Amino acid sequence: METLPEIEYQTTFKYLTLLKPMTLVEMSNESTNILKTSLTGSNEPLRGRNGSTMDFVLAIAKHGQDHVLWSSSPQSPGRVVHGDIKASNGILHIIDKAITPPMPAEWVLQNTPDLSEFYKVSRNLNLTSESFNGKTLFAVSNSAMLQFPSEAWSSPQQALAIQSHMIAGTYYSNNLTTSQINDPNTKASLSVTKLTDNDININEAKVLVKDILTANGPMHIVDKLMFRRQEDKPSDESSKQHLVNVASTQTSAATSPHDLQYHGHVITPVMLCIALIVGFIMLA
């Protein structure tokens, strides 16, 4: 079991401290709520990672009777086991696992099984976490990416095709509305159709997993590639042979939010039952 250095514990503690006292009812409902923490926009070092502390926010939602929180792992959230504990200087909520600040976008792509093919393509095209700074990324699931072998993605034109899956700005599920969103730099344009917070389409692609927080901006997993033009598709002849093996490969690929797992830091048991301390707290 990996032990995090002391500075990691301090950073995690600050990340789980909100800027004002909030009850569970005030923090969450059936929709995902994005909360600013005491790290959001601070001068806290990013522990060698790139990105911005402006993206050090915390996601919370109500799933059935449970209130759950997450950062880079919506498939493996922490659950509030005892909430609304009043203290002299704020409100305490106890959760059943430690939640660390968001990881870089490249790290999240690399460590999310259903995004392994999208990660390979992003590496082939030399897209790093810096490429996603200040943007919302609609990453494509393996089942869609496997239409083309990762080695077929190599040209600048195809790099633009992948870049059309990201849009300048910060779009979480709670501020995505039925509309057209445009990126003035890449000229990417995405059509959003939102029926409910759990039923969102981007162009013709369905959002499978929403609100994955990264240090570079929000990420959502979609089930289709979104090409602006037919000529943007990879045309490598090897894709024809590759399609023969897609069915067998897909059998072992994660295809639903339930199947997705998150492989991040494991924190020692002393942090496993951690208080989410809400309110202004003086850190000694």
| DSSP at 88 | T
Residue 207: which of 127, 136, 120, 262 has the closest Cα? Answer: 136
Mean pLDDT computed over 157-181: 87
Tell me, yes or no, whether 80 and 117 share the same domain. no
Q: What is the pLDDT of residue 227?
A: 76
Residue 27: which of 91, 123, 72, 121 has the closest Cα? Answer: 91
Tell me, yes or no, whether 109 and 209 share the same domain. yes
Tell me, yes or no, whether 197 and 122 share the same domain. yes
DSSP reduced 3-state for 234: coil
Tell me, yes or no, whether 72 and 211 share the same domain. no
Is 80 exceeded by the pLDDT of residue 142? Answer: yes
> Count of domains in the chain?
2
- In angstroms, the CA 190 to CA 195 distance is 16
Domain of 135, CATH number, reads: 2.30.180.10
Give the C-alpha distances (Å, rounded to integers) separating 273 from 82, 129, 214, 269: 11, 31, 23, 7
- 283 within some domain: no
Contact 139, 220 (CB under 8 A): yes
- 1 within some domain: no
Mean pLDDT computed over 50-59: 82
**25-34, 64-73, 183-192 — which one is most confidently predicted on average?**
64-73
Residue 105: which of 40, 51, 57, 142 has the closest Cα? Answer: 51
Tell me, yes or no, whether 20 and 109 share the same domain. no
Is 60 exceeded by the pLDDT of residue 265? Answer: no
Tell me, yes or no, whether 112 and 133 share the same domain. yes
- 258 within some domain: no
Which residues constitute the domain of residue 36? 6-101+264-278
DSSP reduced 3-state for 84: strand
Is 60 exceeded by the pLDDT of residue 242? Answer: no
Tell me, yes or no, whether 238 and 269 share the same domain. no
- In angstroms, the CA 170 to CA 270 distance is 34
- In angstroms, the CA 41 to CA 129 distance is 18
Average pLDDT of the chain, as a whole number: 78
- In angstroms, the CA 87 to CA 156 distance is 57
Q: What is the pLDDT of residue 64?
A: 87
- 284 within some domain: no
Residue 75: which of 275, 248, 231, 211 has the closest Cα? Answer: 211
Is 50 exceeded by the pLDDT of residue 162? Answer: yes
pTM summary value = 0.79
- Amino acid, single-letter form, for residue 35: L
